[in-house]
Amino acid sequence: MALRSRRREDIGDDELELVPVMNMFLVLIPFLLLSASFYHIKAINTSVPVLSSTSATTKGKPSKADAKVTVIVELKEKAVVLTATCDELSYNDLVKLETEMPVKNPEVYPMEKISQHLQYIKDKYPKSDTVILVPTQQVAYGTIIRTMDTARSANNAELFPNVVLSGKVG
């Protein structure tokens, strides 16, 4: 009788031996924590202008709404200048797309205004997809990336996905 009750007690007291598992966790977790990265690196596609051996060819004259406008954003010391270029549009049409925004502090560019103007161009010529970014020599890389973000999208809508980075010529 005594033996039986002892067996029952033993069965009731049986527990999993968790200490080795704990030891393994204690080794694994610091190792993973050390090699973990808590920031996510993403990428922005861009390119620099290259000389092309092929000549530009015109495939008929598309309508104005189908025109693909290339916007040039110049980040100057005292202003941001937006101009546009397009084979299908007249000089007068292109002039209407130009604007200049004064900059009081060269470290703070008016991204909101740039975004609004780019949206205006995109609404007018929806097939446009390219922005050429022309910063001056002193503009910080961080500012360039912010301008690229502004040009690529606004309010979760795609604006100009192709951003080309170019130095000022001349």
Partner 1 sequence: MALGRKRTGSSKVPKLQLTSMMDMFTIILIFLLFSFSNNPEQMSLDGDMKLPQSTSKLDYKDSIRLVLTRNELKLDGNVIATVKGENVEGLDKLYDALKNYRDVADTLKKDVNIAERKEHILFLCDKEHSFKVVNAIVKTAGRAGYPNFQFGVVETE
Interface contacts to partner 1, rule CB under 8 A: 15, 18-19, 21-22, 25-26, 28-29, 32-33, 35-37, 39-50, 135-142, 144-146, 148-149, 152-153, 165, 167
β-pairing, 153-154 vs 157-158, is antiparallel
CB closer to partner 1, 37 vs 58 = 37
> From the centroid of its chain, how far is CA 30?
34
Please count the residues of the chain.
Answer: 170
- Minimum Å gap between C-beta 165 and partner 1 is 7
Q: Least Å distance between CB 118 and partner 1?
A: 15
Nearer to partner 1, 45 or 57 (CB): 45
Name the residue nearer to partner 1 (CB basis): 97 or 148. Answer: 148
Smallest gap from Cβ 86 to partner 1, in A, equals: 22
CB of 56 to partner 1, least distance (A): 18
Max CA separation in the chain (angstroms): 108
Cβ proximity to partner 1, 47 vs 90, nearer residue: 47
Phi, psi (deg, nearest 5) at residue 141? -60, -40
Buried b (16+ CB within 10 A) or exposed e, 125-158: beebbbbbbbbeeebeeebbeebbebbbebeeee
Q: How far is the CB of 95 from partner 1 (least distance, A)?
A: 27
Cβ nearer to partner 1, comparing 20 with 60: 20
Which residues contact residue 114 at a Cβ distance below 8 angstroms, ignoring those fewer than 6 apart?
Answer: 73, 80, 82, 101, 147, 150, 151
